[in-house]
Structure formats: C-alpha cells, structure tokens
Amino acid sequence: MQAPIAKKIPFLLENHGHQRQDNYYWMRDDARQDDEVLAHLRAENSYCEAKLAPTQHRQKALFEELKSRIKKDDNTVPVRDGKYWYHSEVSGDQEYAKHFRADTFDGQGKTLLLDVNELAHGHEFYDLADMAVSPNEQCLAYCEDYSGRRIYQVRFKDLLTGQLLADELSDCEGQVVWANDNQTVYYVKKDPQTLLGYQVFRHRMGTVQEQDELVYEEQDRSFYMGLGKSRDESLIFIDLEATETSHTYVLDANDANAQAVELTPRIMGHLYDVDKLGEQFYIVSNLDAKNYRLMQATTQTISNPDAWQQVIAHRESVLLESVELFNTYWLVTERELGQIRFVVYQHEQGQMLGEGNVLAFDDPCYFAGVGMNPEPNVSKARIYYSSLTTPGSLYEFDLASGERVLLKQQQVQGDFDPALYQSERLMITARDGVKVPVSLVYRRDSFSKDGTNPLLQYGYGAYGITIDPSFSSGILSLLDRGFVYAIAHIRGSEMLGRAWYDAGKLTQKQNTFNDFIDITQALIEQGYGDADKVCASGGSAGGLLMGAVVNQAPHLYRAIGCHVPFLDVLTTMLDESIPLTTNEYDEWGNPNDEQDYHTIAAYSPYDNIQSQDYPHILVTTGLHDSQVQYWEPMKWVAKMREHKTDDNLLLFKTDLESGHGGASGRFKSLEEKALEFNFFLTALDYED
C-alpha cells in the first residue's frame, strides 16, 4: 500500500519581509466539516494499519498484556469532606468509575452519586472533569465533555431524590464553585472561537443560563482563568494566570450578590498563589524571590505587597512550590536538586512554632504530591508517592511525629516484582557545561552497561511543567523486553527551580533541544543504550521537542513517537484566532515581533524539515484536539513525505473521536500505548 500523498496548493505567507510558501495550508479547513480533509485523515489511518498489519498480532498481545496488569475491581481510599466519606470504584471491564459517598470510612450508608459508565454510554468519548457538592451536601454539580474539545456542560443532581435538575450550563470550563447559600454557583464561560475561558458568570439554581449574571470579564487574552475557594470557604477566587503574571479577584462566598474585588494589584512579572484560612492570607510569591517565598497578610494588608510579612524566606537552591493549610500546621512542598520534599511547620493562629520537620522518602528518584485533604482541622495529611520501581502509594502522615501509614498501594496484577527493577538518577553535562538530571529504570537481569540495550528516552521541557519519575505499569512491557527507559529533565521544566524554566523558553528555547540530544549521546557513550536502538517519545510540547530533534539530530534515533504534537509553531503563533495562541506569547514569543519571529523560525519543526534521512516516525493526534489542532501533525507528515530521503516508516494515526488527552476510558487508552510500543518494536526488528 502506498503512502497517501497530499495535494499541494501553494500559499504564500509573508512577515517582516520573510516569505514562506506553505503547500499544505489548505489542511486548516475544518475536517469536522470538510470531506476532503477528513478523507485524507482516514487514508492515513488505513495506511498506518496496513503497514503494521504484519505485527498486528503483537500489538493485540501488547494490549492484552497492558490490560492484564490493571486490577479490574478496585477502589480509592475514602476521604472525608464534611460529614460524608467519598470514594470511587471500578469493576470488571468497565471503562469508567462509579462515585459514592458513605456515612463512615468503612462504607456504612453508601449511596451512588454518579455512574460514569452510564453517563458515557453511547458516546465514543467522555470526560468527567469536576464534581462539586453544595455546602449543605444536598446537590451535586458535575462537568462533562462528549467531544474531547474540553468544552464542558454542567449538570446538577439532587442528592436527596437522585433526580437530575433542569438547570444546565453549556460552553464552560470544567469546574464550578458553589457559594455558601447552596443556591448560587459560579462558572467560567469560554470564547467559542479561541476556547479561552474569559468570563465568570453567576448562576442561580432554578433559572435558565440566559439569565445568568456576568460577574467578571478579563480583557487581556494572555491569561487563563480558573475558579477556586479559600481553605476556610469564605472567599471564591477568580484566578488569572499568564506565563509571567498572576492576578486574583475575590467574591464573598456568603453574599449571593457579591461583586468581584481585586485582591492585590496586577504587577507584571508577579507570579503567586494565594489561599486564606481564618484571618490570614498565605501567598506563595516570586516578588524579589525567583524561587518563591511564603508570605502572610491580613484582610487589611493583602492589597499592599509591601506590607506582607515573610514566613519562609527565598532560597537560591530551593524551589518553594506550594503550601497546604491546616488549622495548626502548614505542609510545604519544596524541590531541591530536582527532588520533591515536604516540610511540616507547626503554627498557632498563623505564628510559626519552631523549625520545620522534613517528611522523607527513600528512592533515589521519585514523585510525591499532597493528596486530598479537604478538612483543615486535622493532624494527619495524605501524601501520594510513586517511583520508577514503586507503584503508586497513598500514605497518611502524622504531622506532629512524621510517622506514616500506608493506606493503599496500586496493585500490579501478574508476576510483577519490584526487586527485579533498578532506578538511577544521573547528571549529564550538556554542551554548554550545564548538568541536566536524568531519571532512568531498567530490569536488573536484562541490563548490561555495555551499550547493547534498546533505549526509550522521554522528554517534555516546556511551561515549567516537571515530569517527575513515577511508576508506570505500562512501561514494564518494554523493560521486560530489555529496554532502558529514561526521562530527560531538560530545561524548560522547573526541575531545578525557576531559572531552569527560564533557560528553556523564548530566546533560550534551543537549550531544550540541545539538552535532549546531548543526553541521548551521553547515555549511548556511557553504555546505557545501543546506538542503533534508540527510541524517543514526547507529546504536545514534547511533540514539538520530537519534531525539533529529528530535524537537528536525526541520526541519533531509530524511532520516534510524536503525539498530539505542536509542530507548526510559527504559523500557529501568528494566528490569534486559534485556541490558546495569545496565552502562549510569554512561552514561545510573539512572532508579530521581528526578533521573536526569527527565534521561532529557527526551530519550528514544520519550517525546518530538510531533504535528509529521518528515523521511523509514528505521529498520533485527536480530531477534536483543542490544544494543538489536528492540522499541525497532518501538515507536518505531508511535508515530511515530500522531503525525507529514506524508506523508513512514517505513520500517522488520528483518533476521530478524541481530543488532546487521547482516548477516554481506562482500557481504551491502552490501545494507543500498545500501538506505540508495537511501532518501536517493529522499527527495531524485534522478534518475540
């Protein structure tokens, strides 16, 4: 079967005196309405299926293998919120969870809140985003998306009668917040063109959405908008976040007619997160503190940052990430040398008592995060923990003593034995002398540090998002076949603090690609991987990473997995009508500025395709992707077919029912993983 060859319609783009001819610009026509575009996507799907047909048996076996490790009947640990205990359950081959609440931890008086399997019935895609119970615990609001576009509808359920209410809200972000009168909810509405949340509305139960009151509208389209509620539930936060600046408005949660009030003046470059408990505001702020510090304010001083009091000072080598507030404790999340840790401080009415106590873990590299702790008046906190060799574990820590109790650990079905696997943390020196962290894992009995193992290297490197090393039952399928799996903690994340992020964006974005390439070379040189068996994978901004490194160093890689990838950076960032473009200016630059234009043009994967040999490449996307439009990978593949000089596989698979997050459901999503793994094994000529 021959690869689909897309038609070419010359289209001239000119900016700052620079001309680009884009022969595949026509693919931007909406495939959800344009038959020709949709036909081309289907032809690519057929081609992908045909080229992998000889190994289809292995792909099916991989899917069953991945599925077999998942415990079919499972539940979460109940958590108390108010007078009820909430948990979810999954069973059998069902794709989705059922959500319950009960009167006690052990399930007395258990009642069903939502059966997501019923809600998803008849839909190829379904996403349940937020569930919010009213303060009197009698009504449930929930947000659902049937397309993958992350455009949510909000519905309401009477928890006393079990009946759905007539109220429905459409075109929303995936969250709602209740006021304390149990009759008023706040939600964010999206711009129908850009899909950017920019308006906060107030809805009164029993009325139609058309009567809802606009509470706040953000004019600056570089901000994302979200809602929250203070720890003491007295305030509703309107949180505005741009790449470089935060801004917060508040509403009195006890006043159903409250007006939005600016919490503190907008200062460009001021990033912060704020919460309130009792009479005190707590602000994790970067004012005069690149790696953040913890500040404290009162109702009288919160509007004046100069009057804030310092609680925890800034440190050059420690990133202060967040604080969880309890009535007599602060649980602070920090990161030093790339590793998360938790520090507990005791306080009395906001006054710190003594030094902090560190809650420690043992693995050389791991991920941990504060779990669900809805109630502030407790002395124990839940923390989630996972490493490359340790399945996800939920601990309960005594905040006074630091003692921990394991509440639950993810069960990996089959013959999984963590003692068979070894993880390491390396520091690789990049070409400019900077040391870059790498986390890796392999199976002890199949690894030899002699350059004979296949290697899969994963990376992201954008938005300050840190990909911590955590357990994946799926990756066992490669480890058990002799692979070494490495996570490259490249610049563009916050692994080594805020400066690590700044060194991987805007004019320094090339550092992200250099780091990834240099890590690959070092892992080969140090014997962790076979130079002829190196695979790499990344999605979204990590897909941009994949597109850049195959242009710049194609010889290093045998196979590439490129998922929901941001590949046509220059053209996208010049089009403000595309969802989320204006929010991205502080990340990539605004190409309406000539200097930013040339910076992006130098690495934009679509604009830098060359006539050269490329690795085997698998590209996947979702037709309804709201973050990276489907036409970016579609154009990139078409142009790649035109220019590449090799006979390697170039496969493009579009899920015609999903969006940026891929297929929904706990088993269906494994089909995408089985596809990628089979592709890598096929490219490596692996024989089972």
Q: What 3 state SS string does 41-101 have? A: HHHHHHHHHHHCHHHHHHHHHHHHHHHHCECCCEECCCEEECCEEEEEEECCCCCCCEEEE
Q: Give the separation between CA 436 and CA 483, rounded to whole angstroms.
A: 22
What is the H or E stretch that residue 462 is in? none
Output the DSSP codes for 642-653. HH--S---EEEE
Q: Which of 147, 625, 655, 658 is catalytic?
A: 625
Give the β-pairing of 616-622 and 559-563.
Answer: parallel
Nearest to 334 by CA among 304, 377, 369, 283: 369
**100: Cβ contacts below 8 Å, ≥ 6 apart:** 86, 87, 88, 89, 107, 110, 111, 112, 113
Nearest to 687 by CA among 454, 444, 420, 416: 454
Structure-token pair, residue 411: 């069960």
Structure-token pair, residue 247: 């801004």
- The alpha-carbon radius of gyration of the chain (Å, integer) is 25
**Angle (deg, nearest 10), helices 35-51 and 631-643:** 60
Strand order in the sheet with 421-429: 421-429, 435-443, 484-488, 455-459, 534-539, 559-563, 616-622, 650-655
Q: Give the separation between CA 618 and CA 537, rounded to whole angstroms.
A: 9
Residue 166: count other Cβ atoms within 10 Å of its Cβ.
Answer: 11
Q: Give the separation between CA 673 and CA 455, rounded to whole angstroms.
A: 17
Q: Which of 386, 540, 658, 664 is catalytic?
A: 540
> Does the annotation mark 130 as catalytic?
no
> Does the annotation mark 660 as catalytic?
yes
> Does the annotation mark 625 as catalytic?
yes
Q: Which of 40, 515, 660, 664 is catalytic?
A: 660
Judge contact between 118 and 98, C-beta under 8 A: no
Amino acid at site 99: H
Judge contact between 278 and 268, C-beta under 8 A: no
**353: Cβ contacts below 8 Å, ≥ 6 apart:** 345, 346, 347
Nearest to 181 by CA among 81, 260, 255: 255
Nearest to 250 by CA among 284, 221, 281: 281
Which DSSP state fits 419? G
Q: Give the separation between CA 265 and CA 229, rounded to whole angstroms.
A: 20
Query: Residues with catalytic annotation?
Result: 540, 625, 660
